[in-house]
Amino acid sequence: MTADSIDAAVPSRRPALGFIGGGVMAEALMGAVIEGRLAAPGTILVGEVDEERRRVLRERHGVEVTADNLAAATAELVVLAVKPQHLGAVLQQLRGQLREDTIVVSIIAGARLRTLCEGLEHPLVVRAMPNTPARVRKAATFWIASAGSSKPALQRVRSLLGALGTEVEVADEAGVEMATGLAGPMPAFVFFLIEAFIDAGVALGLPREQATLATVESMRGSLELLQRTQESPAALRKQVTSPGGATLAGLKVFESAGVREAMGAAVRAVHARAQELGRLPLAPGKEG
């Protein structure tokens, strides 16, 4: 166990890690923590209102579960992982109830530091937004901590988010929102493209299985090539594109259809919607 492990020096009977909400992203995070030996399953307490979901998490990961969010909030590090529409109720429930040394990490879309700190009446809050590749420990997570957070607290956060993949601390909250606007929807955008290419292969006459293999393995190999060579995407694209060749004919179709512009517009739309969500008034609702 390393010194910066989440459960380092955890007092007896106090959970090392608490979750408020036990959804898909929370499960990815707890799985990564357990797999990385940052905390033992028995030191993790998940507050989740749905009984069936509690049963699944307990059986699948061996974690402790409860319907009482206040119990989960006694942990040294607490992850807020509820849906945005339930945040108001959770803030009301936890306001003024957290221990002074508790680190709160919010992975709730659109929830800003000021809203969280004021709503909880708690100064030590981190805003982060992992994307769904967290499920396979390949997330890109950008985060920022409230002012005055101690170095040990920040190291705990790095250990937690680093278990999911790549973590990057940014200088200001706008940076989190912009990076999330790009990284957050990226898996959906990539899956959309994969679907389209598979359908195009089928339209040419390939069996769907072969079209899927050709698309997925080509995309996987392209990403590996980009990572290993450290060359720019533009340089690698030019290496594949011969003057007057077949690839160029396809790229011209993308250009004429305004694909690059559409991608930029999609990212801007995500960013704008995320900002709108952050401005919505908090309304009480079913927590968890």
For residue 10, pLDDT beyond 50: no
Instruction: Tell me the mean pLDDT in the region 104-113.
Output: 92
pLDDT tens for residues 58-74?
999 999 999 999 999 99
**Mean pLDDT of the 27-38 span:** 92
Task: Give the tens place of pLDDT for each residue, 234-268.
Answer: 999 999 999 999 999 999 999 999 999 999 999 99
Average pLDDT over residues 132-138: 90
Confidence of residue 224 (pLDDT cuts 50, 70, 90): very high
Kindly report, residue by residue over 142-199, the tens digit of the pLDDT: 999 998 788 899 999 999 999 999 999 998 998 888 888 899 899 999 999 999 999 9
CB 201 within 8 A of CB 210: yes
User: Does residue 164 contact residue 141 with C-beta atoms inside 8 Å?
Assistant: yes
**Inter-axis angle of helices 173-183 and 259-279, to 10 degrees?**
130
What was the pLDDT predicted at 283? 53
Q: Are 73 and 20 in contact (CB under 8 A)?
A: yes
Instruction: Kindly report, residue by residue over 197-212, the tens digit of the pLDDT.
Output: 999 999 999 999 999 9
pLDDT at 288 over 80: no
- The reported pLDDT for the residue numbered 110 is 83
pLDDT at 203: 98
pLDDT of residue 286: 43
Q: What's residue 8's pLDDT?
A: 42
| Main-chain phi, psi angles of 168, to 5 degrees | -135, 120
Q: Does the pLDDT value for residue 284 go beyond 70?
A: no
Question: If you write DSSP's letter for every residue of the chain in order, what string do you get?
Answer: --TTSTTTTPPTTS-SEEEE--SHHHHHHHHHHHHTTSS-GGGEEEE-S-HHHHHHHHHHH--EEES-HHHHTTSSEEEE-S-GGGHHHHHHHHTTTS-TT-EEEE--TT--HHHHHHHHT-S-EEEE---GGGGGT-EEEEEEE-TT--HHHHHHHHHHHHTTEEEEE-SSHHHHHHHHHHHSSHHHHHHHHHHHHHHHHHHHT--HHHHHHHHHHHHHHHHHHHHHH---HHHHHHHH--TTSHHHHHHHHHHHHTHHHHHHHHHHHHHHHHHHHHHSPP------
285: pLDDT strictly greater than 80: no
SS3 assignment for 9-74: CCCCCCCCEEEECCCHHHHHHHHHHHHCCCCCHHHEEEECCCHHHHHHHHHHHCCEEECCHHHHCC
Using a pLDDT cut of 70, give the percent of the chain over it. Answer: 92
Specify the pTM: 0.82
Asked if pLDDT for residue 28 goes beyond 60, the answer is yes
Pairwise CA distance, residues 29 & 34, whole Å:
9
pLDDT over threshold 60, residue 96 = yes
Residue 1 confidence (pLDDT) = 34
Section 105-131 average pLDDT: 93
Residue for token digits 């999911």? 164
Rounded mean pLDDT, 263-283: 80
Predicted local confidence at residue 2, as pLDDT = 42
% the chain with pLDDT above 90: 78
So what's the pLDDT on residue 239?
Answer: 96
Residue type, 94: L
